[in-house]
Structure 1
Amino acid sequence: MTTGSMTARDRARRHPRYLPLVPLFLAVLCSLPLLAPAETVGTLNEDLTAILDDPALRAAHVGVAVDSLTTGRRIFGYNAGKLFVPASNMKLLTTAAALLALSPDFRWETRLLTDGTVTSGVLTGDIIVEGSGDPTISGYFHDGDVLHVFRRWAMRLKEQGVREIGGDLVIDNSAFPDQPYGKGWDVDPVNCFSAPRDAFTFNNNCIQLDMTPSGRTGDGAHFAMEPVTDYVRVTSGLICRKDAGPDVVNLEYTTPRALSVTGSIGSGTRTITRYVAVNHPAYFGGFVLRETLDAAGIVLKGDILCARNCPKTVDIGARKAKKEWTTVAVYRSPRLAEIIKVVNKLSNNLYAELLLLATGRAAGATGTEGSAAAALAALRRAGMDTSGVVMADGSGLSRHDLVTPDSVARLLRIMAQGPHARSFIDSLPVMSVDGTLGVRLKGSRAAERVRAKTGTMTHVRGLSGYVTTVKGETLVFSLFSNNHVATSAVDAATDRIILRLLDYSSSER
């Protein structure tokens, strides 16, 4: 997951190097068949079969599909039609469907509205934040400034002479049903990895909590929070040890806004950072917005109200129907083509979930189930066979998700041959360069020759994408392993397969 804070490395990830792989695709795409009849390639078949025959993998459920994008041939298959839990490889389907249904130029809009007038510095009415499911109200696209959007809204109100808001701050988060978590998720309430979904999302619905030991044995730690807010109250039982044993930090919510931190850390330990999901995310965003307004000299006299999943709720439809609302400010997200880089390169789960819901909303669907149906329909229209696909969410957090290596390989061919090839391919991590592949096979021949999406959960591994061979041929591959115990053996086998594919030649017959 990402948070509002952005390191120099994160900034670099936003501008990945443009690789020869993309022009190669664009040069050969339109004239190629999607798939020719399968052929067995002698040497490659023997080598990959030997890799998969590792004793550590024999009890696992493993599947592989490798196609040549250049010739359209299936060059290797192993359980390619079997079903697998894909983990974050599900994001390939989510981002592809969004590109097809929404276009690379799609942008979310979040509106700040008011129903009042300003008299002597007092806004005699409410302000409403109209959420649309935009995941980018954070620091990631704003040079690390978590409060960038909220500060601009405060500035806009001040330009209109507002020093006091007499009514309420109303968060309209009614665009999506109240489904904070997906079906089949292993939810950890404090883990930002599975942060709750909401139509009004701020800072990935998480806080960054930094813990620095005091330096004296028996004392506690110093805490810092980003954004700086009173929304989450930390109570600490964390102590400093003299010995150099392992650091143990336990986080638990005792109430929706009270976070208990216990455990022990070495007195010489450097700062420990945890990314903590918040409860009631729309209320969290409204709370920090009120703090931002207050810092700008604008006092909110009323309450913070939300349409749903909030300590205090309000009938948004009835509230809006009473008066005419005028727009104070509009925040427009970056283009979808930029946003899907966060989904695929950094494997951001919340972005993926909100992207799926946006795809559904554009088709008139609601909720995860309806949005998944809309996404699969978009993929079918593009030529993908979705009969072997179960899409329970957009991120791959659900163990109810199912795909086949065949279906993912076909999707990759479709996207490489379609009008959104550049946006899709550019969104994938580059081997040894960025994202979740930034340190993988570092210094090997695979560096910069592979663009692929990772998938990782307990007993689940996936890697699917594109590889350019040393002879310039482009291969599409999809590899999955489920129910394995030796994760390191699976990762090693996957790397060996990638390295072997680099040497593939169409003359191997």
Structure 2
Amino acid sequence: MKRFAVCCALILSIGTTCLPANARVRHKRHKPKPLKVQVATLLKDPAVSRAHWGIYVTRMDGKPIYAMNEAQLFQPASNNKMFTTATALALLGPETTYETKIVGQGVFDGHAKLRGNVVLVGAGDANLSGRTLPYVEPVDRPNPAPPAPDPLRYLAQMADQVAATGLKVVNGDIVGDDTLFPWEPYAEDWTIDDAVWGYGAPVSALTINDNQIKVTVTPGASVGAQATFSLLPAISYYKIVSDIQTVGANGPTSIFYERLPGSKDLRIYGTIALNASPDVEEIAIDDPAEYAAVALKAMLDARGIEVTGRARAEHRLPTDTQGLLAVSSQPVADLTQRAAAAAANPAEKLLASHTSPPLEENLVVTNKVSQNLHAELFLHHLGIAVLGDGSTASGARVVRAFLTGRVGIDPDDFIFFDGSGLSGHDLVTPRAAAKLLQYATTQPWFADWKRSLPIGGEDGTLAERFPKLPIKDHLFAKTGTLGEARALSGYLECASGKTVIFSVMVDNHTPRTHADRDTMDKIVAAIAETN
């Protein structure tokens, strides 16, 4: 036994001290194929080879690492939000807030009676809703989740303030006033299909619950029975015609929603399986200012305030005749904010108010979950703040001036018709996205802005992508999906420990497939592996 131990010790001694250094076992990281080779191989796949691809990778200082079609134009989809939110954070500032007011306009008889209108004045607050702010990372959210707050809670709080003034009778209307912005509910080339759904909700300075209604369809009690539905908020606004049949267990669940533009008639039809979970959809509100007025009128009534008139909206129609391209291409001499000019109304009395969360909190939500409406509100606020005009064209003009004048992006490298990327007219080059990402790293607001980007495998629109190391938690990027276009741009921590900037865009991929997304994710993995 002792002899065996001595032999083992001798072998160990030889293994560690007697072998030449070059004979020792070494663990080397596998040397990957060059990025150019890997990308070429990936794009040969017949499932993606006919699509139009653009890729640009740089160091953090902007020095190019890899480029393919980087100067060609692509639909950015929600990559557009990067440009809008960066401009908003830089020009409006992280602490900016907006105050929604309820005022009485007319003649008061003491505190109890008003001969005139109660006006809910929209200030472009994106978060008059049940959303919890600041944004909470998924890992920090309570499990199980607590009940969601009332989506009309802030409107209810303001109704309480009105009741506390002693007002009892309103001989007039309840008005939803969104005249801060011109009434341009949809930007150019938003599709008619999108207008039904919450993600395509109309833009209004008086935004309520993201300008959408949650519709929940539940199977009937037996096969052949009509399914039931419920609305949240439960406000009578749409006339709903429902014809949803309950079919056998494991049968097809296929539910359709139809509403013509400008119509209050919402048709829901199809089938739902007897054992199916409730089907939940977000449906856009046709006129958010009118909807808010309807909701406020019901709340005042519930608080014992008699309203003799009706609930209605007050809009300001656009008057510009030049068109977006002509307006947005005009230079902006000064990108600093203008002083707000408040129009004083001597017959106006403040009854209630609500102040929004700071801009930076809304910005995180906007980029994390890719909230289209909120990005559009940023665009309109930029027009108001810099040019004194909250139109889509003025907002686009400010964004263009910022991107070309301060960021230094080539004016021919982009054109934006909106703030969210829903417009099919939006175009951008991968090198423009990379240029913005590089510029942001040099700015005092960079940490706040980067914090708003989805994290691979963790949260937002990247929660289900890149679920494993080495990319999980090492990718900070904005997604984009629109029709047959997809984009992903951001910051990537690579195998070497260095961080690179990248933008990958694809147009004209095969409809209703995910092959392009899978290939895009493999390209990102190749970038991480080779840098």
Per the normalisation by structure 1, the TM-score is: 0.85
Which one of the candidate residues 258, 263, 278 is aligned to 2:285? 278
The CA distance in 1 between the partners of 2:518 and 2:227, in whole Å, is 40
Cα 1:243–1:148 change in 2 (3 A) is: closer
> Does structure 2 conserve the Cα–Cα contact (< 8 Å) formed by 1:280 and 1:309?
no
Aligned to 1:192: 198
1:202 matched to 2:232: no
> Does structure 1 conserve the Cα–Cα contact (< 8 Å) formed by 2:381 and 2:390?
no
Mapping for residues 47-126 of structure 1, pairs under 5 Å: 47-69=38-60, 72-115=62-105, 116-117=107-108, 119=110, 121-126=112-117
1:475 matched to 2:481: no
Which one of the candidate residues 476, 484, 489 is aligned to 2:515? 489
Aligned to 1:379: 403
Q: What do the CA deviations read for 1:182-221 (whole angstroms, capped 9, x no partner)?
A: 1111123421121111121111111001111122111111
> Does structure 2 conserve the Cα–Cα contact (< 8 Å) formed by 1:455 and 1:461?
yes
1:422 matched to 2:447: yes
* Secondary structure at the counterpart of residue 429 of structure 1: coil
Deviation at 1:150, TM superposition (A): 1.1
Mapping for residues 394-473 of structure 1, pairs under 5 Å: 394-473=419-498
The CA distance in 2 between the partners of 1:332 and 1:56, in whole Å, is 50
2:489 alignment partner AA: S
Aligned to 1:293: 300
Aligned to 1:233: 239
Per the normalisation by structure 2, the TM-score is: 0.81
Which one of the candidate residues 379, 382, 385 is aligned to 1:362? 385
1:334 matched to 2:357: yes
The CA distance in 1 between the partners of 2:111 and 2:211, in whole Å, is 36
1:325 matched to 2:356: no
The CA distance in 2 between the partners of 1:197 and 1:418, in whole Å, is 30
* Secondary structure at the counterpart of residue 259 of structure 2: strand
> Does structure 2 conserve the Cα–Cα contact (< 8 Å) formed by 1:282 and 1:309?
no
1:170 alignment partner AA: V
Deviation at 1:464, TM superposition (A): 0.4
Which one of the candidate residues 309, 313, 329 is aligned to 1:306? 313
The CA distance in 1 between the partners of 2:203 and 2:149, in whole Å, is 22
> Does structure 2 conserve the Cα–Cα contact (< 8 Å) formed by 1:343 and 1:352?
yes
Cα 1:135–1:476 change in 2 (3 A) is: same
Deviation at 1:257, TM superposition (A): 2.3
Aligned to 1:35: none
Structure showing greater Rg = 2
> Does structure 1 conserve the Cα–Cα contact (< 8 Å) formed by 2:246 and 2:272?
yes
Deviation at 1:120, TM superposition (A): 6.6
2:380 alignment partner AA: L
The CA distance in 2 between the partners of 1:72 and 1:195, in whole Å, is 37
Worse overlay, 352-361 or 162-171: 162-171
Aligned to 2:221: 215
The CA distance in 2 between the partners of 1:46 and 1:250, in whole Å, is 45
The CA distance in 2 between the partners of 1:187 and 1:342, in whole Å, is 26
Deviation at 1:76, TM superposition (A): 0.6
> Does structure 1 conserve the Cα–Cα contact (< 8 Å) formed by 2:259 and 2:265?
yes
Cα 1:328–1:50 change in 2 (3 A) is: same
2:239 alignment partner AA: R
Cα 1:251–1:375 change in 2 (3 A) is: same
Q: How many aligned positions are there?
A: 455
Q: What do the CA deviations read for 1:307-363 (whole angstroms, capped 9, x no partner)?
A: 2289xxxxxxxxx88742122222221111111122211111111111111111111
Structure 2: gaps spanning 5 or more residues: 1-31, 134-147, 318-342
Aligned to 2:530: 504
Aligned to 1:31: none
Structure 1: gaps spanning 5 or more residues: 1-40, 311-319
Cα 1:118–1:51 change in 2 (3 A) is: farther
1:250 alignment partner AA: F
Cα 1:267–1:55 change in 2 (3 A) is: closer
> Does structure 1 conserve the Cα–Cα contact (< 8 Å) formed by 2:365 and 2:371?
yes
Deviation at 1:232, TM superposition (A): 2.0
* Secondary structure at the counterpart of residue 465 of structure 2: coil
Worse overlay, 127-136 or 300-309: 300-309
> Does structure 1 conserve the Cα–Cα contact (< 8 Å) formed by 2:151 and 2:209?
yes
Mapping for residues 138-153 of structure 1, pairs under 5 Å: 138-141=129-132, 144-153=149-158
Which one of the candidate residues 158, 165, 172 is aligned to 1:160? 165
The CA distance in 1 between the partners of 2:530 and 2:250, in whole Å, is 49
1:302 alignment partner AA: G
> Does structure 2 conserve the Cα–Cα contact (< 8 Å) formed by 1:96 and 1:379?
no
Q: What do the CA deviations read for 1:146-198 (whole angstroms, capped 9, x no partner)?
A: 11111111111122112332322122211222211111111234211211111
Q: What do the CA deviations read for 1:271-291 (whole angstroms, capped 9, x no partner)?
A: 111111121221011101111
1:503 alignment partner AA: E
* Secondary structure at the counterpart of residue 49 of structure 1: helix
The CA distance in 2 between the partners of 1:282 and 1:480, in whole Å, is 37
> Does structure 2 conserve the Cα–Cα contact (< 8 Å) formed by 1:100 and 1:378?
no
The CA distance in 2 between the partners of 1:472 and 1:289, in whole Å, is 55
